Structure 1
Amino acid sequence: MTATTQGLHQVTAIAGDPQKNIDFYITGLGLRLVKKTVNFDDPGTYHLYYGDESGRPGSLMTFFPWRGIQQGRIGAGQSTSTAFSVPAGSLGWWVDHFASVGAEARITSTSSSEEERAHRARRREDDRPHGERPGDARGRAGGQPHPPRRG
């Protein structure tokens, strides 16, 4: 019998302060803390698992947080960013939400209708006063917001 893989089970990264990590992924992204265990190679370090409301494989992002760890350097074969998909029509809500929790939001890929709304938002951004944080002057693109789900 041959096992087939349908995709990734999880993506794992290294983080700094565990509480800041928990605060951002739960409050900022609305993910659920699916599991908290230890790094079996370093039992004094947590292994934090975040995922969707059901903790389905493929939705999981995990971290080994070490307080005071040195900032990483970009190198060959290293991932330098992570992107999440969001419901259609919710980009404006997410930009505003990230601004409210002090995080930067960048729209990297959209559908054609979302692209037009994002383009209008970028035009408005170009008119914003110097020093204003991203998201402060934007309306909610796409109508009703899609807040993070709580699990």
Structure 2
Amino acid sequence: MADALQPYSLAILAAGLMAVLLFAQILIADIAAIWAKTQPGKPLDYNPASFHFRASRSFHNTNESIAVFILLLGVCIALAAQPALVNLMAWVYVAGRIGHMLTYYLGWNLARTLSFVVALLGLLGLIAAGVLAC
């Protein structure tokens, strides 16, 4: 790894784990769709009781936030933001996303919301790290 990136190796590892998590969510949502015998191309009906619905929404929610995570991580690294803060906030985001995924699958609404807030705090922490580096 390039010397300039070495201090951010934990954050880069977190980004790699997010790629694996997103891939896993795609597979889980697709398998749930097959089990539910969903017609391809048909919009998903709103049904929080359905695992297929929850798996699909969990994937889409991660997909909606992962771009912000990657962009913020890139900006923080480019600005040489404090590595300890960047690494920590990257892992806070990952922990929140993993918690969100699992609690969404289980239908635990309050825990899902708390996990979403944890991931959001990770993103806000990356914003703060970037701003402090300016």
**What TM-score comes out, normalization by structure 2 length?**
0.24
**What TM-score comes out, normalization by structure 1 length?**
0.22
Per chain length, whose mean CA-contact separation is higher, i.e. which structure has more relative contact order (CA < 8 Å, sep 6+)?
2
Larger radius of gyration: 1
